[in-house]
Amino acid sequence: MSTQAIGLFDSGVGGTSIWKEIHKLLPYENTIYLADSANAPYGQKNKEEIIHLSEKNTEFLLEKNVKLIVVACNTATTNAIKELRSKYEIPFIGIEPAIKPAALNSRTQTIGILATKGTINSELFSKAVQSHKNVKIIEQIGHNLVPLIENGMIESAEMRELLEIYLNPMIEQNIDYLVLGCSHYPYLIPIIEDILPSHIKIIDSGEAVARQTKTILEQNQLLATAQKPQLTFYTNKGSAVLKSLLNTPEAIIIEQSF
Protein backbone atom coordinates (compact mmCIF):
# COMPACT_ATOMS: atom_id res chain seq x y z
CA MET A 1 0.00 0.00 0.00
CA SER A 2 1.36 3.38 -1.00
CA THR A 3 0.70 6.55 1.01
CA GLN A 4 2.61 8.75 -1.43
CA ALA A 5 0.32 11.24 -3.12
CA ILE A 6 -0.75 11.54 -6.73
CA GLY A 7 0.46 14.93 -8.03
CA LEU A 8 -1.56 16.98 -10.50
CA PHE A 9 -0.93 20.34 -12.10
CA ASP A 10 -2.76 22.73 -14.37
CA SER A 11 -2.37 26.34 -15.45
CA GLY A 12 -5.10 27.09 -12.92
CA VAL A 13 -8.39 25.89 -11.53
CA GLY A 14 -9.58 23.89 -14.58
CA GLY A 15 -7.66 20.70 -13.86
CA THR A 16 -9.84 20.24 -10.79
CA SER A 17 -12.36 18.77 -13.27
CA ILE A 18 -9.80 15.97 -13.78
CA TRP A 19 -9.00 15.80 -10.07
CA LYS A 20 -12.71 15.17 -9.36
CA GLU A 21 -12.77 12.15 -11.69
CA ILE A 22 -9.59 10.78 -10.11
CA HIS A 23 -10.87 11.28 -6.57
CA LYS A 24 -14.16 9.59 -7.50
CA LEU A 25 -12.42 6.52 -8.94
CA LEU A 26 -9.58 6.39 -6.40
CA PRO A 27 -11.11 7.74 -3.17
CA TYR A 28 -8.31 6.57 -0.85
CA GLU A 29 -5.50 8.31 -2.68
CA ASN A 30 -3.73 11.29 -1.18
CA THR A 31 -3.56 14.02 -3.81
CA ILE A 32 -1.53 17.21 -4.24
CA TYR A 33 -2.86 19.62 -6.85
CA LEU A 34 -0.94 22.61 -8.10
CA ALA A 35 -2.92 25.49 -9.67
CA ASP A 36 -0.51 27.83 -11.44
CA SER A 37 -3.21 30.49 -11.78
CA ALA A 38 -0.69 33.34 -11.60
CA ASN A 39 0.61 32.19 -15.00
CA ALA A 40 -2.73 31.34 -16.63
CA PRO A 41 -3.61 31.15 -19.41
CA TYR A 42 -0.97 28.78 -20.78
CA GLY A 43 -2.90 28.57 -24.05
CA GLN A 44 -1.55 31.92 -25.23
CA LYS A 45 2.09 31.11 -24.47
CA ASN A 46 4.71 29.64 -26.80
CA LYS A 47 5.99 26.07 -26.54
CA GLU A 48 9.22 27.03 -24.74
CA GLU A 49 7.34 28.93 -22.04
CA ILE A 50 4.88 26.06 -21.57
CA ILE A 51 7.75 23.57 -21.22
CA HIS A 52 9.48 25.83 -18.70
CA LEU A 53 6.34 26.22 -16.55
CA SER A 54 5.56 22.50 -16.77
CA GLU A 55 9.06 21.68 -15.54
CA LYS A 56 8.72 24.14 -12.69
CA ASN A 57 5.38 22.57 -11.69
CA THR A 58 6.85 19.08 -11.93
CA GLU A 59 9.76 20.01 -9.67
CA PHE A 60 7.37 21.49 -7.11
CA LEU A 61 5.43 18.22 -7.01
CA LEU A 62 8.58 16.07 -6.95
CA GLU A 63 9.68 17.95 -3.84
CA LYS A 64 6.43 16.82 -2.23
CA ASN A 65 7.43 13.23 -3.00
CA VAL A 66 4.48 12.37 -5.28
CA LYS A 67 4.39 8.90 -6.91
CA LEU A 68 2.91 9.89 -10.28
CA ILE A 69 2.07 13.17 -12.01
CA VAL A 70 -1.13 13.90 -13.88
CA VAL A 71 -0.67 16.78 -16.31
CA ALA A 72 -4.27 17.95 -15.89
CA CYS A 73 -3.92 20.42 -18.75
CA ASN A 74 -4.29 19.73 -22.47
CA THR A 75 -2.05 22.68 -23.36
CA ALA A 76 0.81 21.47 -21.15
CA THR A 77 0.35 17.87 -22.32
CA THR A 78 0.32 18.62 -26.03
CA ASN A 79 3.31 20.98 -25.76
CA ALA A 80 5.49 19.51 -23.04
CA ILE A 81 4.78 15.90 -22.08
CA LYS A 82 7.48 14.49 -24.34
CA GLU A 83 10.08 16.75 -22.71
CA LEU A 84 8.80 15.94 -19.20
CA ARG A 85 8.97 12.19 -19.84
CA SER A 86 12.50 12.41 -21.14
CA LYS A 87 13.74 14.59 -18.27
CA TYR A 88 12.10 12.98 -15.22
CA GLU A 89 11.74 9.33 -14.23
CA ILE A 90 8.35 9.54 -12.55
CA PRO A 91 5.31 8.25 -14.54
CA PHE A 92 3.28 11.02 -16.23
CA ILE A 93 -0.33 10.80 -17.33
CA GLY A 94 -1.33 13.40 -19.88
CA ILE A 95 -4.65 14.67 -21.16
CA GLU A 96 -5.44 15.19 -24.82
CA PRO A 97 -8.66 16.11 -26.62
CA ALA A 98 -10.78 12.96 -27.04
CA ILE A 99 -10.91 13.06 -30.86
CA LYS A 100 -10.90 9.28 -31.24
CA PRO A 101 -14.20 8.34 -29.55
CA ALA A 102 -15.94 11.29 -31.21
CA ALA A 103 -14.58 10.40 -34.66
CA LEU A 104 -15.45 6.71 -34.25
CA ASN A 105 -19.03 7.37 -33.18
CA SER A 106 -19.98 10.34 -35.34
CA ARG A 107 -22.88 9.67 -37.70
CA THR A 108 -22.73 13.03 -39.44
CA GLN A 109 -18.99 12.52 -40.00
CA THR A 110 -18.48 15.99 -38.56
CA ILE A 111 -17.18 16.79 -35.09
CA GLY A 112 -16.26 20.01 -33.31
CA ILE A 113 -13.30 20.65 -31.03
CA LEU A 114 -13.00 23.53 -28.62
CA ALA A 115 -9.49 23.97 -27.20
CA THR A 116 -6.83 26.58 -26.46
CA LYS A 117 -4.61 28.12 -29.11
CA GLY A 118 -1.62 26.30 -27.59
CA THR A 119 -3.32 22.91 -27.98
CA ILE A 120 -4.70 23.50 -31.48
CA ASN A 121 -1.32 24.74 -32.75
CA SER A 122 0.63 21.84 -31.21
CA GLU A 123 2.27 19.08 -33.21
CA LEU A 124 0.66 16.36 -31.09
CA PHE A 125 -2.81 17.76 -31.81
CA SER A 126 -2.26 18.07 -35.57
CA LYS A 127 -1.02 14.48 -35.65
CA ALA A 128 -4.21 13.36 -33.89
CA VAL A 129 -6.31 15.31 -36.40
CA GLN A 130 -4.34 13.85 -39.33
CA SER A 131 -5.04 10.33 -38.15
CA HIS A 132 -8.82 10.87 -38.36
CA LYS A 133 -9.21 11.83 -41.99
CA ASN A 134 -12.54 9.98 -42.21
CA VAL A 135 -14.33 12.80 -40.39
CA LYS A 136 -14.53 16.54 -40.85
CA ILE A 137 -13.03 18.19 -37.77
CA ILE A 138 -14.01 21.76 -37.00
CA GLU A 139 -11.38 23.31 -34.75
CA GLN A 140 -12.22 26.34 -32.67
CA ILE A 141 -9.93 28.23 -30.30
CA GLY A 142 -11.75 29.16 -27.10
CA HIS A 143 -10.30 32.68 -26.92
CA ASN A 144 -10.75 34.22 -23.47
CA LEU A 145 -12.76 31.37 -21.93
CA VAL A 146 -9.99 30.37 -19.49
CA PRO A 147 -9.41 33.92 -18.14
CA LEU A 148 -13.16 34.28 -17.54
CA ILE A 149 -13.24 30.96 -15.63
CA GLU A 150 -10.13 31.92 -13.64
CA ASN A 151 -11.86 35.18 -12.69
CA GLY A 152 -15.02 33.45 -11.48
CA MET A 153 -17.11 34.65 -14.44
CA ILE A 154 -18.64 31.37 -15.64
CA GLU A 155 -22.17 32.72 -15.31
CA SER A 156 -21.45 36.03 -17.07
CA ALA A 157 -23.19 37.36 -20.19
CA GLU A 158 -19.75 37.63 -21.81
CA MET A 159 -19.16 33.90 -21.36
CA ARG A 160 -22.48 32.99 -22.96
CA GLU A 161 -21.85 35.39 -25.85
CA LEU A 162 -18.40 33.92 -26.56
CA LEU A 163 -19.70 30.36 -26.42
CA GLU A 164 -22.49 31.19 -28.86
CA ILE A 165 -19.96 32.74 -31.25
CA TYR A 166 -17.76 29.60 -31.06
CA LEU A 167 -20.51 26.97 -31.14
CA ASN A 168 -23.11 28.31 -33.57
CA PRO A 169 -20.95 27.75 -36.69
CA MET A 170 -20.37 24.16 -35.55
CA ILE A 171 -24.12 23.61 -35.13
CA GLU A 172 -24.67 25.02 -38.63
CA GLN A 173 -22.12 22.58 -40.02
CA ASN A 174 -24.01 19.67 -38.47
CA ILE A 175 -21.60 18.35 -35.83
CA ASP A 176 -22.95 15.54 -33.66
CA TYR A 177 -20.03 15.50 -31.18
CA LEU A 178 -18.33 18.38 -29.40
CA VAL A 179 -14.94 17.56 -27.89
CA LEU A 180 -13.88 19.71 -24.95
CA GLY A 181 -10.11 19.96 -25.37
CA CYS A 182 -9.29 21.99 -22.28
CA SER A 183 -9.62 20.87 -18.67
CA HIS A 184 -11.27 24.18 -17.74
CA TYR A 185 -14.19 23.65 -20.13
CA PRO A 186 -16.15 20.90 -18.29
CA TYR A 187 -17.21 23.71 -15.93
CA LEU A 188 -19.00 25.28 -18.91
CA ILE A 189 -21.09 22.20 -19.72
CA PRO A 190 -24.40 23.57 -18.31
CA ILE A 191 -24.12 26.65 -20.57
CA ILE A 192 -22.89 24.64 -23.56
CA GLU A 193 -25.81 22.20 -23.15
CA ASP A 194 -28.16 25.12 -23.18
CA ILE A 195 -26.72 26.37 -26.49
CA LEU A 196 -26.35 23.04 -28.31
CA PRO A 197 -29.32 21.09 -29.69
CA SER A 198 -29.86 18.01 -27.51
CA HIS A 199 -28.67 15.47 -30.14
CA ILE A 200 -25.09 16.83 -30.00
CA LYS A 201 -23.01 14.91 -27.48
CA ILE A 202 -20.29 16.52 -25.40
CA ILE A 203 -17.11 14.57 -24.65
CA ASP A 204 -14.26 15.38 -22.31
CA SER A 205 -11.30 13.31 -21.19
CA GLY A 206 -11.68 13.30 -17.40
CA GLU A 207 -12.96 9.76 -16.90
CA ALA A 208 -10.44 8.26 -19.33
CA VAL A 209 -7.57 10.00 -17.50
CA ALA A 210 -8.82 8.67 -14.16
CA ARG A 211 -8.99 5.10 -15.55
CA GLN A 212 -5.50 5.41 -17.00
CA THR A 213 -4.18 6.72 -13.66
CA LYS A 214 -5.65 3.67 -11.90
CA THR A 215 -4.11 1.30 -14.44
CA ILE A 216 -0.64 2.81 -14.10
CA LEU A 217 -0.80 2.76 -10.30
CA GLU A 218 -1.92 -0.89 -10.38
CA GLN A 219 0.85 -1.86 -12.77
CA ASN A 220 3.43 -0.22 -10.50
CA GLN A 221 1.82 -1.55 -7.30
CA LEU A 222 1.35 1.97 -6.07
CA LEU A 223 -2.36 1.98 -5.22
CA ALA A 224 -3.50 3.21 -1.81
CA THR A 225 -6.01 1.12 0.11
CA ALA A 226 -8.55 2.14 2.73
CA GLN A 227 -7.34 5.35 4.37
CA LYS A 228 -8.78 8.82 4.93
CA PRO A 229 -7.00 10.73 2.18
CA GLN A 230 -5.31 14.11 2.42
CA LEU A 231 -6.50 16.35 -0.39
CA THR A 232 -4.11 19.27 -0.71
CA PHE A 233 -4.36 22.14 -3.20
CA TYR A 234 -1.71 24.80 -3.74
CA THR A 235 -2.51 28.00 -5.59
CA ASN A 236 -0.33 31.02 -6.36
CA LYS A 237 -3.34 33.37 -6.73
CA GLY A 238 -6.44 33.94 -4.59
CA SER A 239 -8.21 30.75 -3.53
CA ALA A 240 -11.87 31.85 -3.82
CA VAL A 241 -12.54 30.52 -7.34
CA LEU A 242 -10.63 27.30 -6.65
CA LYS A 243 -12.63 26.76 -3.47
CA SER A 244 -16.00 27.34 -5.12
CA LEU A 245 -15.27 25.07 -8.11
CA LEU A 246 -13.88 22.34 -5.89
CA ASN A 247 -16.83 22.40 -3.55
CA THR A 248 -15.05 19.81 -1.38
CA PRO A 249 -15.11 20.74 2.34
CA GLU A 250 -12.28 18.36 3.26
CA ALA A 251 -9.88 20.00 0.75
CA ILE A 252 -6.92 21.80 2.30
CA ILE A 253 -6.17 24.90 0.22
CA ILE A 254 -2.81 26.59 0.59
CA GLU A 255 -2.04 29.97 -1.00
CA GLN A 256 1.64 30.54 -1.65
CA SER A 257 3.81 31.96 -4.40
CA PHE A 258 5.80 29.51 -6.53
Q: Which residue is nearest to ligand DGL (CB)?
A: 43
Among residues 175, 182, 241, 251, the one annotated as catalytic is 182
Euclidean distance between the first and the last CA atom of the chain, given in angstroms as a whole number: 31
Q: How far is CA 59 from the centre of its chain?
A: 19
Q: Is 73 considered catalytic here?
A: yes
Q: CB of 101 within 8 A of CB of 180?
A: no
Q: How many CB atoms lie within 10 A of CB 111?
A: 27
CB of 112 to ligand DGL, least distance (A): 16
Residue 182 annotated as catalytic? yes
Phi, psi (deg, nearest 5) at residue 167 = -95, -30
The count of C-alpha atoms lying within 13 angstroms of the C-alpha of 116, restricted to the half-sphere facing its C-beta, is 30
Helices then strands (H, E): number in the chain? 11, 10
Footprint of ligand DGL on this chain (CB under 6 A)?
Answer: 10-12, 14-15, 40-43, 73-75, 116, 119, 146, 182-184
Residues 32/232, Cβ–Cβ less than 8 Å: yes
Q: What share of the chain is helix, strand, coil (3-state, %, to 5)?
A: 45, 15, 35
Pick the catalytic residue: 5, 71, 73, 180? 73
Measured from the CB of residue 18, what is the shortest distance to ligand DGL in angstroms? 9
Q: Which is nearer to ligand DGL, 15 or 112 (CB)?
A: 15
Please report how close the Cβ of residue 226 comes to ligand DGL at its closest, in angstroms. 32
CB 142 to ligand DGL: min, Å:
8
Residue positions annotated with a catalytic role: 73, 182
